[in-house]
Every structure is written in C-alpha cells, then in structure tokens.
Structure 1
C-alpha cells in the first residue's frame, strides 16, 4: 500500500440494526466540531459514525464529496479501507486456527514451502504469529505514488502478492524474527497466500463467506482489478508534497494491496464488524485471547499512539479518561480510515476521511492528532 510520509501503515451487535440519525437532529456539537476540524485542516470530506450502548448510530459529515461539484459527503458512502482489511484477514486466519487447520506457531515454510528464502530471509524461522503481529522482520518493498505525475503513470499498475513477496526477498530482513516490531504489509500478503493454500479459495472469498455474509456486511467488497468505487462515495484526494491536491479516486491500489489492504466498505459495515469481533462473535475463546495478546509498537507508531500494543491483527491503545480501545488504522491513496471500540464494547466510532494530507510531515501529524482527539472525545463522553 501507499504509505504516509511518517507512518508504516497504509483501520454492532448481530441482533440489532444501527439506525443512522441525521447530524442536525442528534449529533453532539462536539462531534460536529471535531469533524469540521479535520475539514479545516484540508480534508475534503469527512464521515463519522458513532454507536452507543443501545446499538443506535449517529452520523455526521463535513466538507464535500467532490471539490468540483461541491456535492455533500454521503452518510453511507463507500471508501477504500486500506489496512483495516488486515483485521478481517487476521480474523479469517484465526478462524482456521480454531478449526485445527493451522497453528499460530506453524512456520511460514511449513505452509508455504520455498516462498520466504534468500538474502537472510528464512521461512523456517518465521511463524504465522510473527506475520500477524508484525514481528517477522521481513522488509516491505511496496510500490509508491508520491506525485501527480507518478499517479498518472502508475495508477493502473497491477502486482500479484507473489510478485510483491518476491520484491521483499530482494532485501535483507530488518531484524531477526521475533526480535523487533515493524509494520509489514508483506506479512499480510503472505497470510492471504496461506488462506488460499489451506482452503483452496482466494483470501477474499474466505473473508466474504466467513465474515461479510454472516454479519450482513453487504456493502463491503474486494474490487479486484477494477479501479472504480461503485455506489455512493466521496472522491479521494491526495495532497502531495509537490503538485497540490490531486483527485486519485480511480486507481488499482486495492487490487494489489489484497489481503493487506484491498477492501472497500462503509462506516456502517466496519462498525458492525469491529463490534462483533470485540464481542467474541467471530472467534472461539482461545483465539479471542490470542487476538488481544499484544506487544508494544515501536518506531513512528509509538510516537503517535502512546502506549499502543499490537495483538494479532488488532491494536489497543489507552484512553486518557481510563480504560482502552481496540482499533486498526487504514491509509491508502486518497483515503484514511480510523476506528475504535472501547474495552467494554459499549461505544464505537468509525471515521472515513477522503484526503491524505502528505504535503509535509507536520500536516500529516496534524491530521493524525485531530482524528485521535475526535476518538478520545467520542469514547470519553459518557465515561
């Protein structure tokens, strides 16, 4: 996936249906203020969905869905969720573990013989847990678009998971497996390959059959090689270091991001997924415990997410008002997604932003800080 300048990550109860309430009728002024603060930073479109203990949701929007037409941001708009996909991939892998078809302590070599080797890379030393938890040491070598010119040239490029894993093998590992932490998209591409090897189906087919259909996530899809987002959506924009704001809506990032970041979804679908996962509705108890066994994050993430830990496809971060929340971020060309569920499962929030601010490090950090403040304000409101 395309990565921000300083970040290495490109993130409902089944018996109830969340009801979206128009912002003018129910949204607290603080929530609208926080959404507007993101808009004022330069984010063209913002959609925020908050769900409370009663399962009812409210949605606020800010900005516009299209800078040319000025049409409003749809409250049910679809967007590229980027690395939030990883949590669905991890959930699928852990379901396979629960079925006895895999162990988190199995090596990559055991499942995918001969795939991870060369230049010091050794699949015999890397476990499934290492891949899930970003402790494999594998070096990421993902394609990058960093200007309007490179977008024009490469927006329709395609890459297979096998090709991108092979690119990683051209580099020495960043560290010995289990001896460090570094966010790694390559690890999740390998997990997608693991799912296919064990089931005979592409990763997205298993995600659809095991998660999307059972939860009724009808607006979550994998677009394959289509560069378009179907259905209502805000157009995605990138503020590059040079060249200014660029419409980057149509591209094939999702196609090659695959199991590491390829899904398109809505705030309603993601809210339903994270609440179901938090409630233990998708995993057996043993795998639910493994999901939350975290290690401290390191590097830039430790700075922007103080105190955060990384489980098996799900992060956790403390709240300033007490308690903590689970989450997984998602950054991809034109779209930034954030989400959070409180440790007691009572409150949740999903935020979609249709602009990546990457013209400067300061601007990128400001966007991250503003969305973190929004999450804190939502989750601490009634605590």
Structure 2
C-alpha cells in the first residue's frame, strides 16, 4: 500500500451500512457521518468505523483514505460509496473485524472485582497487602495503605509502569509492578490514571479465585453475554480472523503485537458489536447487583473524574454518557452509552493516535445530540 502520509493527502471515502432489525430502521444522522469522516481528513487516521445501537436497531459506518494514488481515481472517490464486505477496500474496517481494545479491558476487570465483592469473597476496603503480601513496598509505596477501592478508582498514587515501557515491552504482572514501585508514589487520594492499578487487580482476582482474571472474565462475562468475538489472547501475537491492519502514527504496521505489554490493564481483543453488547448489559444491571453498579458509577472518590472501570462525559446538549476508551499500539477505541443503556456507540480507528483531540467529543456529540452542528 502507499505510505500513510500519501494516503492522508487524498480525499476520504465514506461507507455507510445500515444494519437494522426487521421491525425498525434507524436513520443515519448526517452529523455523525461528517464527524466520522473528519477522523480521517483532520485526525489523520488510515480508517475509522462506528457501530451505533438503539434498542434492537443498529447502524454501521466507516471511513477510510483511498488506497490509490491516481488523482483521477482519488477524485472520483470523494463521493460516498456503498460496499459489501467483499468489496471493501483493503484498509477499510469491517463490521466484524477483531481489534485490540486497550484500556477497555479495565471495564471487564472492574466488573469481575465488583462481582467478587457482591459474593463477599473480597471487600473493596481490603488492603492490597492483604491479598498480595509484600508485593507493593519500596520507594514510599506501601500496599498496607492502599485499598482495592483506590486501585479501581486510580487514586492509589502508584506510578504507571507504561510510562517507562511506552507500552512496547512484554512483562509479567510482577515485573510491571516492580517497575512502578521503583518510583515514588503520587499523592494518595488524588486521581492519577495508572495501568499498574489494574495489573494489581488482575493479580487479586487470581489470588481470590485461583483462576486468572481472563478465565474469570470469560466465565462471568464473555460466555453469559455470548461475546463470541471477545477474548483475552494471553501471549498470542496475532489477531483472530477477520481483522484488518493496525498502524502507529508514523505508518508502521503493528498488527502483530504481544498483549503482555498491557496485561490486565489492556489485553482485550474484541469487536464493535461485542463492546456495545457488553456496555449495554453492564449499565442495564445484567452483570452487577444494584449496590455494586452504584459503586461502579460513583465518581466521588476520584473527584468526579472516574468511577470503577468507567467514566462519564457530559455532552454539550446536557446528555451524560458512560463508558471507557482504549489505546494500545496500533489501535484506539471508545465506547459510550446513555445510563439507561438504550443508546450505545463504539467507534474505533486503526492507529493509536488521532491528530485532533477535539474530534472524539465532536463525534460523541453528533451521535448523542443529533441537533448539534
């Protein structure tokens, strides 16, 4: 394929595939189409896609830079073109593609921890030391002073191990924690996003259950919800079929990746439809009892910035959406849903960087505030 920088100078090609139930249709809001296209034209990503669901109806759309360098062909592709999966361009994102979801893994891990709390197998007020004795110690870090709640809400003060590894070094969980505790902690009680927190939570799940966080998430979430495209790949570098390609911001192909660069903080592989189904089920209360769901949505510990594996965003029209984002080498994804779970949207790009940070909130506003210009 041509170099990424060449593709980014070409007109964008937008494809819309409406997928609906037999009983209803959902019109395609033009503002969403425009916002999605801008991820390519202004955000400089090779391709972008979204799957929006409302009730039993869903709608898929994608945008990508043309793969041709022929000016005449590029000019003709500026119009919206409809494709079947069989005729999509090579770099397009398909509805059923598998991709790496990065920190969206945290929503799954937090759900498992809260289920264990509901079963009285652990308490959120338990110290880290009680479950992982002697592990968090040194450079001012003290597992006796940290609770599981502080891990879930990113208020532990623990350093983020990926600040040292840049998310490119394969590690065991213990190695990741040791990198983090070599640094003095930030102020405890202050929100400070750290992947180390969720690596520790993955270890706690295994200590409590005798099974890995991946096995517990599969048993408790993936299998009951029939998330057939979702998995924890462990050490498997390749993505399941079907899948597209993934790129760094400079255009390097990083489709094959060792998931141990992220572990319980970002290992998940999934699909657009599975993420919509998971977050809708979570917010409906299908996965957690009411008390634990309230705790998950309570952002007071993190001063309004984060709940437990979820965060909220208030849009310009006053609508608040809940969900999470995920970034890992070669992939960025964001899921957002209304609290009643009636409307949910997942969008993704096949790179880890969007050049204009204002494009994501603009897309969410276009999706959940239809009248927003």
TM-score bin, normalised by smaller chain: 0.7 to 0.9
Using the alignment, how far apart are the partners of 1:131 and 1:75 within structure 2? 34
Counterparts in 2 of 1:251 and 1:144: CA distance versus 1, 3 Å: farther
Using the alignment, how far apart are the partners of 1:335 and 1:346 within structure 2? 27
Counterparts in 2 of 1:29 and 1:70: CA distance versus 1, 3 Å: same
TM-score (norm 2): 0.83
Report the Cα offset of residue 284 of structure 1.
Answer: 0.9
Report the Cα offset of residue 276 of structure 1.
Answer: 0.5
Alignment equivalent of 1:75, drawn from 95, 106, 110: 95
Counterparts in 2 of 1:83 and 1:65: CA distance versus 1, 3 Å: farther
Is 1:378 aligned with 2:367? yes
Alignment equivalent of 2:220, drawn from 190, 210, 229: 210
Using the alignment, how far apart are the partners of 1:65 and 1:197 within structure 2? 50
The equivalent of 2:181 in structure 1 is 169
Cα deviation, 1:184-212, whole Å, max 9, x if unaligned, reads 10010000000000000011000000000
Alignment equivalent of 2:137, drawn from 97, 113, 117: 117
The equivalent of 2:81 in structure 1 is none
Q: Which has the higher contact order (CA 8 A, sep 6+)?
A: 1
Structure 2 gaps, min length 5: 1-17, 70-88
SS at 2:144's partner residue? coil
Using the alignment, how far apart are the partners of 2:35 and 2:371 within structure 1? 17
The equivalent of 1:230 in structure 2 is 240
Cα deviation, 1:161-203, whole Å, max 9, x if unaligned, reads 110001111111112x32x110010010000000000000011
Would you say the 8 A contact 1:336–1:356 is kept in 2? Answer: yes
The equivalent of 1:313 in structure 2 is 309
Using the alignment, how far apart are the partners of 1:145 and 1:110 within structure 2? 28
The equivalent of 1:27 in structure 2 is 28
The equivalent of 2:336 in structure 1 is 340
Would you say the 8 A contact 2:332–2:353 is kept in 1? Answer: no
The equivalent of 2:151 in structure 1 is 131
Q: How many residues align?
A: 332
Q: What aligned pairs does 1:12-23 form with structure 2 within 5 A after superposition?
A: 20-21=19-20
TM-score (norm 1): 0.81
Would you say the 8 A contact 1:31–1:60 is kept in 2? Answer: no
Using the alignment, how far apart are the partners of 2:65 and 2:105 within structure 1? 25
The equivalent of 1:278 in structure 2 is 283
Cα deviation, 1:233-290, whole Å, max 9, x if unaligned, reads 2211111xxxx321111111x2231111000000100000000011111001110110
Single out whichever of 370-379 and 265-274 deviates more from structure 2: 370-379
CA RMSD across the alignment: 2.5
Would you say the 8 A contact 2:152–2:308 is kept in 1? Answer: yes
The equivalent of 1:190 in structure 2 is 200
Would you say the 8 A contact 1:27–1:59 is kept in 2? Answer: no
Is 1:86 aligned with 2:106? yes
